[in-house]
Amino acid sequence: MLLVNQIRENFDAVLAGLQKRNFPDATAVLEQVIALDDQRKSSQTQRDQLQAESNSISKQIGVLMKNGKREEAEKVKSRTAELKTEIKALEDSTTQAEEDLKALLYTIPNIPHVSVPAGKSADDNEVVLENGVIPTLHEDKLPHWELIKKYDIIDFDLGVKITGAGFPVYKGKGARLQRALINFFLDEALKAGFVEVQPPILVNEDSGYGTGQLPDKEGQMYHATADNLYLIPTAEVPITNLYRDVILSEEELPVKNVGYTPCFRREAGSWGAHVRGLNRLHQFDKVEIVQITHPDKSYEALEEMSSYVQGLLQKLELPYRVLRLCGGDMGFTSALTYDMEVYSAAQERWLEVSSVSNFETYQSNRLKLRFRGEDRKTQLAHSLNGSALALPRIVAAILENNQDADGIRMPEVLHSYLGFDRI
């Protein structure tokens, strides 16, 4: 959530950032923010003035009563009753302005970093680098949705029977590949200095608002209405919310956490060949990395996280590229996002497998996540997160890129986790 002072003091810059995101009616919305804040301040100032008058009258009444001037004191009391009514009305006006202001701020996305390119869609994203060699496959190459049937390692029909479309059942070596990748990703994160946590996979509304999934992505989340809880779309939500309403010391920064969870996304409106098989699921496994950093070091941390995720892809022997997302394709809460995509040689296209983002103070303002410096003053920390990694498209690329006429070769780095080297 943007700070009101940020909008007031940098109006033109904030407006330019929202325009880079193609945010509609940006000028009117920002002017409304300032008007609501002015209304809040005015009501609060009037309320404080009347409260001061009321306090003064109370003291006056005490003096009059002490001096035996009861009749005069009773006359003054009538004014205190009027003041109570006026103060209550101003308190209600202040509260309403605060609620309206907060609701409006929730609808405004983060401001893009200066390096974010302008653009409206994924077609306008900037390719930062490409790495690896795209494999040449044999003539009878198969996409992963045919390979999983051929080797009986993932069953979508059983998932439909048990739950519905988008909930696959992993079997035999398919299940072992899932477990191997999760353990590999977690072990690599521990080596890189991340502390493992195992968070809940259901969160409350406060957590959803804290990291920005609510109200922006409410329609994409599974909602357990009886208890008003949400199934997490990513471990970013519970892990970052560990630090909601927390004041860290500067010496504790950076905080580095990693966690594995299943993730749940309704993916309403998704259909077509590009989401076939493992390309888009309603339930999938993911290992997530989260950092809480000093504002001066968050972009250094972002580059480190990007390099770390690239290192995982290199160890898995997957050709990949890194994209800097344009203003129109960025997530609602992000200031700068790198997407990592692996190349699927059977599908002959790039598949997104990770997003690494810096949110600056956008989440921490919602979360009231602060740190205390040497001067004992508190300020908002910066939060970052990244997929390291999401499994479905990684599995798809491993199966497709490593297939030959006799089976599927497994990346060498996974052999010790799998207990086999081929499917």
pLDDT, tens digit (0-9, with 9 covering 90-100), for 196-249: 999 999 999 999 999 999 998 888 999 999 999 999 999 999 999 999 999 999
Q: Return the closest-CA partner of residue 333 out of 234, 191, 254, 229.
A: 234
How far apart, in whole angstroms, are the C-alpha atoms of residue 368 and residue 110?
16
Residues of each annotated binding site: 234, 265-267, 288, 352-355, 385
Q: Which of 16-25, 80-89, 395-404, 408-417 has the lowest mean pLDDT?
A: 80-89
Look up residue 123 and give its two tokens: 């077609």
Q: In this structure, are residues 421 and 307 in contact, taking their beta carbons and an 8 Å threshold?
A: no
How far apart, in whole angstroms, are the C-alpha atoms of residue 304 and residue 254?
12
* pLDDT, average across residues 13-26: 97
- What's the CATH number for 122-418? 3.30.930.10
Residues of each annotated binding site for ATP: 265-267, 352-355
Residues of the chain above pLDDT 70, percent:
98
Q: Is the pLDDT of residue 55 over 60?
A: yes
How far apart, in whole angstroms, are the C-alpha atoms of residue 313 and residue 185?
11
Whether domain 4-106 has CATH 1.10.287.40: yes
| Confidence at 269, pLDDT banded by 50, 70, 90 | low
Using alpha carbons only, what angle is made at residue 118 by residues 234 and 23, rounded to the nearest 5 degrees? 70
Helices (H), 265-374: 298-315, 362-367
What stretch(es) of the chain map to CATH 3.30.930.10? 122-418
* pLDDT, average across residues 333-347: 97
Q: What is the CA 415 to chain-centroid distance, rounded?
A: 33
Q: What is the CA 204 to chain-centroid distance, rounded?
A: 15
CB-based contacts of 230, cutoff 8 Å, min separation 6: 202, 203, 204, 205, 207, 208, 213, 214, 221, 222, 223, 224
Look up residue 304 and give its two tokens: 């480190």
Which parts of 204-243 are beta strand (E)? 223-224, 229-231
Q: In this structure, are residues 329 and 118 in contact, taking their beta carbons and an 8 Å threshold?
A: no
Residues of each annotated binding site for L-serine: 234, 265, 288, 385
Q: Is the pLDDT of residue 271 over 70?
A: no
| Confidence at 70, pLDDT banded by 50, 70, 90 | confident
Q: Is the pLDDT of residue 138 over 60?
A: yes
Overall size of the chain counted in residues: 423
Count of CA atoms in the C-beta half-sphere (13 A) of 376: 0
Residues of the chain above pLDDT 90, percent:
88
Q: What is the pTM of this model?
A: 0.92
Q: Is the alpha carbon torsion for 119, 273, 260, 418 positive or negative?
A: negative
CB-based contacts of 365, cutoff 8 Å, min separation 6: 1, 2, 3, 380
pLDDT of residue 273: 58
* pLDDT, average across residues 337-364: 97
Q: Is the peptide bond before 215 cis (omega within 30 degrees of 0)?
A: yes
What stretch(es) of the chain map to CATH 1.10.287.40? 4-106
How far apart, in whole angstroms, are the C-alpha atoms of residue 371 and residue 359?
16
Average pLDDT, the chain: 95
* pLDDT, average across residues 187-196: 98
pLDDT of residue 61: 82
* pLDDT, average across residues 335-357: 97
Q: Is the alpha carbon torsion for 13, 335, 298, 309 positive or negative?
A: negative
